A = this chain, B = another copy of it.
Amino acid sequence: MQLALEEALKGKTNTYPNPRVGAIVVSNEKVVSTGYHHHYRGPHAEAIAVSKLKGAYTDATLYVTLEPCAHQGQNEPCTGLIDPKVFSKVVIGAKDPNKLAAGGSEQLLKKGIDVIGPVSEDECKDINRRFFTFHEKKRPYIILKVALTMDGFIAEEDGRSKWITNDKSRESVHILRSNCDAIIVGNNTIEKDDPNLTSHGKGKDPKIILFDKKFQDRSQMKVSQQDPIILKTSDMHKDSKENLDRMIEYLYKNSFQTLLVEGGGVTLTHFLNANLYDELHVYYAPKIIGKGLQFYHGKRSLEQELDLNLARVEKFGNDIKLTYIKK
């Protein structure tokens, strides 16, 4: 299964929104074929491993990091390619959380193939965090991003935040956006900063999600040129949790696998308080302003752990980016 995981990682980020999957065929204790899902809409790992088989095997074992799919999607169902005359056993790393594709194990068993596993669920899920979060929690994978001064402010007192971080940091944000499906910022940020929220040509642009706001004309704002999705809200301030839930549900139903939340403080605080986040991306710039706007408007004690792992540290000139992932 370790070899299958290594195969899976070769898919890099190209398989998105599909998961990265790797497969290995073993016969007489020898690896006789390998495969991985190269890119979205390309053939699945099992299909490649099977098609690369040379010679006649009658008692082979297929190791695959994710349960073979049982549905007709862009490709033929993988279970159909696993011939009981060739394979006596399939070992799976993790069950498929996607209801549409699941059920592969049962189909294989019906064909007389032994199914073992899931044998390494944690590792197999870890390489596809966005995919598993989306299907298991039935909500998008949520990344909160914030750019701070050294003393923790997101803007000066008057709301001015252009620019806390340097060019290189901002470029990394554009790349981050290109890896997300949807992006949201609060209405205050739209009004104050008039951001364009695109990837600035670094890749695809995430879909902009806005809450409607009565009595306000946003036609002159940059986001209006990006064909944003505007969600009807109940009263913004009173029912923030309800609005949040409605948005999350909308994104899930419309297959937005990853949501990027770029502030400001009010919006970030809603997500933090609702415990709705999977990653926190924090930029610090070597500036000290003493007074300004905060990114968290609630109150917690030092004992309230956030349950975060510091997964990645990136240096952009004299700025730093810290990526925390929920444990």
Contact = CB atoms under 8 A, between A and B. Distances in A.
A315 interface: yes
B305 A310 contact: no
Contact of A320 (B294, B306, B313): B313
A86 interface: no
Contacts of A164: 302
Interface in A283-300: 284, 286-291, 294-300
A150 B298 contact: no
Contact of A310 (B286, B288, B291): B286
A309 B166 CA distance: 13
A87 interface: no
Given A150-B152, A294-B151, A295-B151, A289 B300 contact: yes
B296 A160 contact: no
B290 A297 contact: yes
A300 B309 contact: no
A79 interface: no
Nearest to A160: B302
Determine which residue in A148, A291, A296, A318 has the highest number of CB atoms from chain B within 10 A of its CB, and name it.
A318
A324 interface: yes
Interface of A: 148-153, 156, 160-161, 163-164, 272, 280, 282, 284, 286-291, 294-302, 304-306, 308-310, 313, 315, 317-320, 322, 324
Secondary structure at chain A's binding surface: helix, strand, loop or mixed? loop
A313 B313 contact: yes
A23 B85 CA distance: 77
A292 to B, nearest CB: 9
B302 A308 contact: no
B304 A298 contact: no
Nearest to A154: B151
Contacts of A290: 294, 296-300
A294 to B, nearest CB: 6
Nearest to A285: B302
Contacts of A288: 272, 296, 300, 306
A295 B151 CA distance: 7
23 contacts: A149-B152, A149-B302, A150-B280, A150-B306, A151-B295, A152-B152, A160-B302, A284-B284, A284-B322, A286-B308, A287-B300, A287-B302, A287-B305, A288-B300, A288-B306, A289-B300, A289-B301, A290-B296, A290-B298, A310-B315, A310-B319, A313-B315, A320-B320
